[in-house]
Amino acid sequence: MALVRRYAVAIAEGRLEAKKIAAMSDEELAVFDEEAFAALKAKQEEAEQLAASGNGETK
């Protein structure tokens, strides 16, 4: 069940951030969008590097 909860927490956190977007001005949204994409790419690169290293931790 830990895995299920992990994904549930992730999406709940995402929803909180998503609510802020509607209230942003166009300029704020443009800046936010750039930062969000940079974060997305960085996270994907982190995942790929981790997979390449085969460095899963011991539970």
Residues that bind other proteins (CB under 8 A): 1-4, 6-11, 13-15, 17-18, 21-22, 26, 29-30, 32-33, 36-37, 39-41, 43-44, 46-48, 50-51, 54-59
Instruction: Provide the minimum distance between the beta carbon of 8 and other proteins in the complex, in angstroms, as a whole number.
Output: 6
* Whole-number Å distance between alpha carbons of 10 and 20: 16
Tell me the backbone φ, ψ of residue 37, rounded to 5 degrees: -70, -40
Q: Measured from the CB of residue 28, what is the shortest distance to other proteins in angstroms?
A: 10
Which amino acid would we find at residue 37? F
